[in-house]
Amino acid sequence: LMTYFEAIRGHPELARLFVVEGLAAGGPITARFDDLAARLSRILCRFEPDARLSPQSALLLTGISGGLFHIGRQWIMEGFATP
| Structure confidence by residue, pLDDT tens digits, 27-64 | 888 888 778 877 887 787 777 767 787 888 888 888 88
pLDDT at 34: 79
Q: Which residues contact 41 (CB under 8 A, 6 or more apart)?
A: 47, 61, 62, 64, 65, 68
State the average pLDDT for the chain: 84
pLDDT at 75: 93
Element (H, E) at 54: none
pLDDT at 49: 67
| Model pTM score | 0.72
